[in-house]
Amino acid sequence: MPKKTKSKKNSSNTSDLQKKKRILIFKEDMEEYAQVIKILGDCRITVMMPDKTEVMAIIPGRFRKRCWMKPGDVVIISRRSFQESKFDVVYKYNEDEVRNLITYYEIPEFFVTVNVGNDEDEYKENFFEFRDEDPEDIDSEEGKNTIDISEI
């Protein structure tokens, strides 16, 4: 069989994309830095702003399936001019850019030190609690609830 010499159309080397250094983008007017707290689904996320208020932000269509967000990521959000209660995600920073923002004192340090998603309440809600019972107690309860066919 002949060797394949052509590269495939969609096989791009992702390591080259990660090595490229991006220009550091700072916030502008009507924009704020925020940290992703929770992924809500349907392109919505809960973010924490530097004053520790939590708001809901919407991921626009240009980020869908191109830029994945996870809890702990730092983003720039912008308030909508026609809807005061809604925010849009404008930009997502990678880890190196977050470190640079901290050294420039653009974002507070608790954005990095906060452990996101480790709430014990959420951990307890997601699992069942099993009780330990003796097998003898189960057999005695089953005996009370069984119906004999001859009694019918």
pLDDT at 35 over 90: yes
Task: Determine the average pLDDT of the residues in 96-111.
Answer: 90
What pLDDT score was predicted for residue 51? Answer: 93
Q: 37-61, pLDDT tens digit by residue?
A: 999 989 999 999 999 999 999 999 9
- pTM as predicted: 0.62
- Is 36 a member of any domain? yes
pLDDT at 91 over 90: yes
- Is 138 a member of any domain? no
Number of domains the chain is built from: 1
More confident residue, 31 or 125: 31
- Is 67 a member of any domain? yes
In angstroms, the CA 92 to CA 78 distance is 12
In angstroms, the CA 139 to CA 70 distance is 48
Burial pattern 93-122, b for ≥16 Cβ within 10 A else e, equals beeebbeebeeeeebbeebeeeeeeeeeee
What pLDDT score was predicted for residue 78? Answer: 95
Sign of the CA dihedral with 96 first, then 98, 100, and 103 last:
negative
- Is 10 a member of any domain? no
